[in-house]
């Protein structure tokens, strides 16, 4: 057996099934999508065996993209979990044969409850197809397994079909990256989309800020006491006039500057990079990486309100 050739054969067969299904999409897909986006309850996905595993993934995808959804195991449904279904829900049942025993048994109760029933099947004459309010009959295609029996192409098609529903629905909702972040707060991607500079900055008594009219010695003391790597120099109204960083001090010492005889104004960088408090922390991190700096003054309404450190951003799990 040529292993690589056989692996490519599986890819080719499943790709062909996807292309055939894509080309067959018509008004049924649109009708199903409209039921999804108009649903006032939850989108419930059910399937037995491998289609069930696909259903679990799809329920997670729907939920993460703004459509409240959960997976209903058809066997457990027969033992009480049908109580989770309401008349306001849309139930999407996936069965390529349309005759899976566990699926067929729960159809009458779903109809009795009054939920909208959508079938996804390869058999337009099946029990599932007949019971469904809307049915998507998939085109004929070849399973990738040698026996033509194990769900391979059919589960790949069901997965892609469900993804298409979830993604297009999110587009109709106008789902934004910030919405995505709300549903993924624990992941690195979610943190990028949720945490803002004012969530992570050092502010108030923790912030290093001092009058622009002080001596460099006083500025160094403030810089050392707060340990942020940067001190902001402000005028009497709190407007930022410049900053002094630990890097600035190291460069001055290397150049043998008389630091204890200088004013803070003489040593400061007068046009520093800053970040607004409401910006995403990831934007601040991007600026720091680009400019090779470790911290930024934080601004709000033209005033200094804090300091954001790269360490604080990385410590929050944003990379």
Q: Please list, in sequence order, all residues whose beta carbon lies within 8 angstroms of the beta carbon of residue 190, skipping any fewer than 6 positions away.
A: 180, 181, 182, 183, 184
Q: Quick one: pLDDT band at residue 118, thresholds 50, 70, 90?
A: very high
**How confident is the model at residue 56, as a pLDDT?**
97
**How confident is the model at residue 103, as a pLDDT?**
97
Q: Quick one: pLDDT band at residue 182, thresholds 50, 70, 90?
A: low
Q: Are strands 230-234 and 209-211 parallel, antiparallel or unpaired?
A: parallel
Closest alpha carbon to 98 in 83, 120, 80, 73: 120
> Looking at beta carbons, which pairs linking 191-194 to residues 24 or more positions away fall under 8 Å?
191/316, 191/317, 191/318, 192/280, 192/281, 192/282, 192/318, 193/280, 193/282
Query: Is-contact 141 153, C-beta < 8 A?
Result: yes
Q: Please list, in sequence order, all residues whose beta carbon lies within 8 angstroms of the beta carbon of residue 261, skipping any fewer than 6 positions away.
A: none
**How confident is the model at residue 177, as a pLDDT?**
60
**How confident is the model at residue 254, as a pLDDT?**
86
Stretch 201-223: mean pLDDT: 92
Q: Please list, in sequence order, all residues whose beta carbon lies within 8 angstroms of the beta carbon of residue 215, skipping any fewer than 6 positions away.
A: 260, 262, 263, 264
**Residue 186 above 90 pLDDT?**
no
- CA dihedral of residues 189, 195, 196, 199 (deg, nearest 10): -160
**pTM above 0.75?**
no
Q: Where are the alpha helices (DSSP H) in the chain?
A: 3-24, 27-38, 50-64, 74-77, 101-113, 127-131, 153-173, 177-182, 188-194, 197-200, 216-226, 246-254, 264-267, 281-291, 310-315
Q: Quick one: pLDDT band at residue 14, thresholds 50, 70, 90?
A: very high
Task: Give per-residue pLDDT as tens, 43-60.
Answer: 999 999 999 999 999 999
**Residue 188 above 60 pLDDT?**
no
**How confident is the model at residue 248, as a pLDDT?**
85
Please classify residue 92 by burial: count the beta carbons closer than 10 Å to its beta carbon, then call 0-12 exposed, 13-18 middle and 19+ buried: buried
Stretch 4-23: mean pLDDT: 96
**How confident is the model at residue 257, as a pLDDT?**
80
Q: Please list, in sequence order, all residues whose beta carbon lies within 8 angstroms of the beta carbon of residue 74, skipping any fewer than 6 positions away.
A: 46, 47, 48, 52, 100, 102, 103, 105, 106
């Amino acid at each position: 057996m040529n292993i690589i050739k056989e692996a490519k054969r599986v890819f080719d067969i499943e790709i062909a099934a996807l292309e055939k299904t894509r080309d067959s999409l018509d008004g049924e897909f649109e009708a199903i999508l409209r039921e999804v986006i108009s649903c006032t309850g939850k989108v419930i996905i059910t399937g037995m065996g491998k289609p069930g595993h696909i259903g679990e993934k799809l329920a997670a995808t729907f939920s993460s993209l703004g459509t409240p959804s959960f997976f209903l195991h058809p066997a457990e449904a027969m033992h009480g979990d049908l109580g989770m279904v309401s008349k306001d829900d849309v139930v999407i049942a996936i069965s390529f044969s349309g005759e899976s025993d566990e699926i067929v048994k729960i159809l009458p109760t779903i109809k009795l409850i009054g939920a909208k029933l959508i079938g996804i099947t390869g058999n337009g004459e099946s029990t599932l197809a007949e019971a469904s309010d809307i049915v998507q009959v998939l085109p004929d295609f070849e399973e990738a397994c040698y026996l033509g029996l194990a769900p391979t192409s059919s589960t790949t098609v069901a997965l892609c079909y469900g993804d298409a529903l979830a993604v297009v629905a999110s587009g109709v909702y106008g789902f934004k990256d910030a919405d995505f972040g709300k549903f993924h707060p624990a992941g690195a991607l979610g943190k990028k989309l949720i945490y803002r500079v004012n969530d992570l900055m050092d502010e108030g008594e923790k912030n290093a800020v001092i009058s622009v009219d002080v001596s460099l010695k006083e500025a160094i003391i403030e810089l050392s006491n707060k340990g942020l790597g940067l001190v902001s120099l402000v005028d009497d109204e709190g407007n930022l006039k410049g900053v002094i960083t630990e890097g600035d001090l190291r460069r001055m010492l290397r150049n043998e500057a008389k630091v204890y005889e200088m004013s803070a104004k003489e040593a400061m960088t007068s046009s520093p990079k800053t970040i607004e408090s409401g910006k995403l922390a990831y934007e601040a991190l991007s600026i720091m990486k680009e400019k090779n700096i470790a911290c930024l003054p934080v601004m709000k309404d033209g005033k200094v309100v804090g300091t954001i450190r790269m360490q604080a951003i990385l410590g929050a799990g944003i990379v």
